[in-house]
Copies of this chain bind each other. A is one copy, B any other.
Amino acid sequence: MTFQTELDPIATLVEQRLDALLAEGENAGTSNALAQAMRYAVLGGGKRLRPYLLIQSAKLFGVDERGALDAACALECVHCYSLVHDDLPAMDDDAVRRGRPTVHVAFDEATGILVGDSLLTLAFEIMSGERVDQDTAIRVELISLLARAAGWHGMALGQALDLDAERNDLTSEEVAAMQALKTGALFGFACEAGAVLGRADASKRAALKDYASALGQAFQLADDLLDAEGSAEAVGKAVAKDAGRGKATLVGLLGVDAAKARLAALVVEAEAALAPFGARAITLVATAQFAVSRKR
């Protein structure tokens, strides 16, 4: 088993369901520029890593992949919204994403803002639906967790702190705390949501959160290493941007070698957190190992 052979079919399933969810809207009479731009933003490839984590976490507790699919798609909508808004000129000002023009470049800036707003809202529309789970208490819990992970104490705060980091010097601890919000919060939600769907007990849920925390840090560190060392062609988006704009990254603060050592330690930490699940967690272990080896 390789990570990619596990990821691919689930990514396809997620892509198909997102396509259907976005088509439902069009059938309802919204065949307009906004809906088209939303499709462009969501269906343009992407690893579908967060949905994968959610689905694999739920599987640990016997929930099959279709049973976790809508919750996974809601999460992916939040991730896609954050990319569209982060790419805006007033934010990171990126023109290329996944090897294609970003939404505000392909359409216009107002559309970029509205696409992000609409995808964020759609995430909660999807999460309120019966297909997520028959039990309304479970749906409410997922909505509450998703809002906290995405909002002013989670991902959005991380993005605000990241923008501040362009103006202020941060310590490596401050950068790590910022990244735990910006990237880690949605990773944490992915794994915790799987546990919620699977009616996991508190200790299993905590173990998955620990795993997600280490994994999120590992992915961010790998991303920074790709930015520092990769080529734009291989990575699919502009690279060496962080240093160019004086943005604090752990790679910049620690150096490449220390960053690589830290990345390896985080993968060990992520794997250790999965111990309570034994061999059943093999796909999540492989995900952590992928973090070190990925080239884009």
- Interface residues in chain A, defined as those with a beta carbon under 8 Å from any beta carbon in chain B: 25, 28, 30, 32-35, 38, 81, 85, 88, 90-91, 108-114, 116-118, 120-122, 124-125, 127-129, 136-137, 139-141, 143-144, 146-148, 150-153, 156-157, 159-161, 163-164
Contact B143 A124 (CB under 8 A): yes
Q: State in angstroms the CA–CA spacing of A164 and B110 once bound together.
A: 10
Q: Which of B81, B128, B156 contacts A144 (CB 8 A)?
A: B128
Contact A90 B109 (CB under 8 A): yes
Q: State in angstroms the CA–CA spacing of A109 and B137 once bound together.
A: 38
Contact B151 A121 (CB under 8 A): yes
Task: Chain B residues near A144: list those with CB within 8 A.
Answer: 125, 128-129
Q: State in angstroms the CA–CA spacing of A113 and B112 once bound together.
A: 11
Closest 4 CB pairs of A and B: A121-B151, A125-B147, A90-B109, A128-B144
Q: State in angstroms the CA–CA spacing of A146 and B33 once bound together.
A: 22
Name the residue in A28, A124, A143, A163 with the highest tally of chain B Cβ atoms < 10 Å from its Cβ.
A124
Task: Chain B residues near A121: list those with CB within 8 A.
Answer: 120, 147, 150-152, 156
Closest chain-B Cβ to A26's Cβ sits at a distance in Å of: 10
Contact A147 B160 (CB under 8 A): no
Contact B152 A122 (CB under 8 A): yes
Closest chain-B Cβ to A111's Cβ sits at a distance in Å of: 7
Contact A160 B120 (CB under 8 A): no
Q: State in angstroms the CA–CA spacing of A161 and B35 once bound together.
A: 12
Closest chain-B Cβ to A110's Cβ sits at a distance in Å of: 5
Contact B128 A34 (CB under 8 A): no
Contact B117 A156 (CB under 8 A): yes
Closest chain-B Cβ to A19's Cβ sits at a distance in Å of: 15
Task: Chain B residues near A122: list those with CB within 8 A.
Answer: 147, 151-152
Q: Which of B33, B81, B91, B139 contacts A110 (CB 8 A)?
A: B91
